[in-house]
């Protein structure tokens, strides 16, 4: 589930020489205990953030008088060297329970005695919470960019389709004609809401837990304000017990991913359906389709099907996390170690699926003749009733009169526009000679210039709003500035 490039390299030579705990134990822990406890296979990817926060922590310890300038310097240089080694693919060893332990071990190799002072006043509890938040803020920005890319592709495809007409469906039955651009953009706005939710989740994540220690707060006079500034957080956590166990930010980001996956699933389902021979509204490109090992004629929309299927997996990640959180007592509990498995799984999935869907959409071609051919005059029945309303008839009476015409169509096999003038006259005396004009799909669209409607001008405005939403300066709701705050410096 996790992107292999983020996972830890294979575990190297066995050694239990470096542990962050163990003084109070007489015997070695059981091998299976080490195996079940080890999280480095999942949390390895936190290393850039752990190095970053450790550097900030060393500065805080120096200000608090715990480290000398020389010691702080040795740690700083040592952490840089550790970063270089990790970036180069340094492998964990058996005693590296998690990434925090591994970095501590490497720092001892690089910085010697000074390294032993770095863990003063901090715990892996506030450390992992801080590193995870830094990772999450970064992930939100990456997700935002991937969503924008898909939105841009949708917008680019929608623009030339403004004049194309296809049926809109309710209950999967042909309902009323709409502009093809209007249909495609109906998939743009849910993604815009996802970006807003992500920005809110990112802001919520930007609360610094570091300085909370294991659960009661740090006993040394470190400046949390200084840490906040150095790490680019917006606010300080107000309660250390809450801070070490708060995984709301994980739940929120996975929820946004799950909802976004549902939006992608709906888009994929529309396209898969419209790409079938029965509909024939869209054609899939080569780059994002696959063939069949048996049936030579097949061109299957696999990228879209995988996107649709992924929604189930990401929902599973959300349920998995909520199941872990439910029932925990306050303070840090080791169950929380599993939060990263769920979050990395959800984010990795979305970062894979979003560009795949964007690619598949960018390669679509649209058969506007097939679209138009699916629009029958029966779909203008509402417009016909509205025609009578415009003659002063109540909608209820108009609905009934048009209903009788539709019944005649069913009985005779005719379409509304092929019924004789006399049929209209006997359905209602208010029908005039211009009744056939009410059955034009183009006219049906033009009557819907209400904001957010499918009228040509309304769709033009919508396209402007969509374009504005993608500009860095703001979006359609008038929001200003960059979406993300509290990003690491």
**Residues forming the site for ligand ARG (CB under 6 A):** 39, 43, 98, 124-125, 128, 332, 336-337
- Min CB(43)–ligand ARG separation in Å: 6
Whether 292 is catalytic is yes
Catalytic residue among 15, 29, 276, 292: 292
d(CA 328, CA 335) in angstroms, rounded, equals 8
Nearer to ligand ARG, 132 or 349 (CB): 132
- Min CB(125)–ligand ARG separation in Å: 5
Whether 63 is catalytic is no
Do residues 337 and 39 lie in contact, with contact meaning Cβ atoms separated by under 8 Å?
yes
Nearer to ligand ARG, 124 or 228 (CB): 124
Contacts for 278 with CB less than 8 Å, ≥ 6 apart: none
- Min CB(39)–ligand ARG separation in Å: 4
Cβ count within 10 A of residue 484: 16
Nearer to ligand ARG, 23 or 478 (CB): 23
List Cβ<8 Å contacts ≥24 apart for 128-131: 128/43, 128/46, 128/98, 128/100, 129/209, 129/210, 129/212, 129/243, 129/244, 129/246, 130/49, 130/53, 130/208, 130/209, 130/210, 130/231, 131/46, 131/49, 131/50, 131/53, 131/99, 131/100
Token pair for residue 153? Answer: 């592709």
d(CA 395, CA 392) in angstroms, rounded, equals 9
From residue 118, alpha-carbon distances to 104, 254, 269, 352, 404 in Å are: 9, 33, 53, 37, 84
> Residue-wise over 56-88: b if at least 16 C-beta within 10 A, else e?
bbbbbbbbbebbeeebbebbbebbeebbeebee
Do residues 48 and 79 lie in contact, with contact meaning Cβ atoms separated by under 8 Å?
no
Nearer to ligand ARG, 98 or 246 (CB): 98
- Min CB(253)–ligand ARG separation in Å: 16
Catalytic residue among 171, 277, 293, 422: 171
Contacts for 355 with CB less than 8 Å, ≥ 6 apart: 146, 149, 150
- Min CB(295)–ligand ARG separation in Å: 48
Distance of CA 76 to the CA centre of its chain: 36
d(CA 58, CA 50) in angstroms, rounded, equals 12
3-state secondary structure of 251: helix
Do residues 191 and 207 lie in contact, with contact meaning Cβ atoms separated by under 8 Å?
no
From residue 35, alpha-carbon distances to 31, 119, 427 in Å are: 6, 24, 79
Nearer to ligand ARG, 8 or 371 (CB): 8
Give the helix/strand (H/E) hosting 86. Answer: helix 69-87
- Min CB(372)–ligand ARG separation in Å: 57
- Min CB(29)–ligand ARG separation in Å: 13
Nearer to ligand ARG, 171 or 334 (CB): 334
- Positions annotated as catalytic residues are 171, 292
């Amino acid at each position: 589930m996790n992107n292999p490039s983020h996972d830890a390299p294979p575990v190297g030579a066995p050694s239990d020489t470096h542990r962050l705990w163990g003084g109070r134990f007489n015997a070695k822990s059981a091998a299976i205990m080490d195996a079940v406890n080890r999280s480095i296979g999942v949390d390895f990817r936190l290393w850039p953030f752990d190095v970053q926060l450790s550097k900030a922590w060393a500065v805080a310890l120096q200000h608090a008088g715990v480290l000398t300038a020389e010691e702080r310097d040795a740690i700083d240089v040592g952490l840089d060297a550790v970063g270089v080694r990790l970036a180069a693919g340094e492998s964990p060893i058996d005693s590296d329970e998690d990434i925090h332990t591994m970095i501590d071990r490497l720092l001892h190799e690089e910085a010697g005695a000074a390294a032993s002072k770095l863990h003063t006043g901090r715990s892996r509890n506030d450390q992992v919470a801080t590193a995870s938040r830094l990772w999450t803020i970064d992930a939100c920005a990456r997700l935002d960019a991937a969503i924008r890319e898909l939105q841009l592709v949708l917008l680019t495809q929608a623009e030339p389709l403004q004049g194309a007409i296809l049926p809109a469906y309710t209950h999967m039955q042909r309902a009323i004609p709409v502009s093809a651009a209007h249909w495609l953009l109906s998939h743009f706005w849910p993604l815009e809401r996802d970006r807003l939710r992500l920005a809110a989740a990112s802001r919520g994540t930007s609360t610094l837990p570091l300085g909370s220690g294991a659960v009661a707060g740090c006993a040394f006079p470190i400046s949390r304000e200084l840490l906040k500034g150095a790490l680019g957080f917006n606010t300080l956590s107000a309660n250390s017990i809450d801070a070490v166990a708060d995984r709301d930010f994980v739940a929120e980001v996975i929820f946004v991913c799950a909802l976004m996956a549902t939006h992608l699933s709906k888009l994929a389902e529309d396209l898969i359906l419209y790409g079938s021979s029965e509909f024939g509204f869209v054609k899939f490109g080569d780059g994002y389709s696959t063939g069949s090992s048996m049936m030579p004629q097949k061109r299957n929309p696999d990228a879209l099907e995988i996107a649709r299927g992924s929604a189930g997996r990401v929902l599973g990640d959300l349920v998995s996390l909520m199941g872990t959180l439910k029932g925990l007592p306050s303070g840090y509990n080791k169950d929380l170690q599993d939060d990263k498995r769920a979050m990395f799984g959800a984010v990795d999935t979305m970062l894979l699926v979003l560009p795949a869907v964007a690619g598949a959409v960018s390669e679509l071609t649209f058969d506007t003749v097939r679209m138009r051919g699916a629009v029958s005059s029966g779909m203008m029945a509402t417009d016909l009733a509205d025609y009578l309303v415009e003659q002063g008839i109540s909608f209820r009476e108009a609905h009934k009169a048009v209903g009788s015409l539709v019944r005649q169509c069913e009985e005779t096999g005719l379409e509304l526009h092929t019924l004789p003038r006399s049929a209209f006259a006997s359905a209602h005396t208010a029908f005039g000679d211009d009744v056939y004009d009410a059955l034009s799909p183009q006219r049906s669209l033009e009557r819907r210039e209400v904001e957010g409607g499918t009228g040509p001008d309304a769709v033009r405005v919508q396209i402007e709003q969509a374009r504005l939403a993608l500009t860095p300066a703001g979006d359609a709701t008038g929001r200003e500035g960059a979406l993300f705050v509290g990003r690491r410096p």
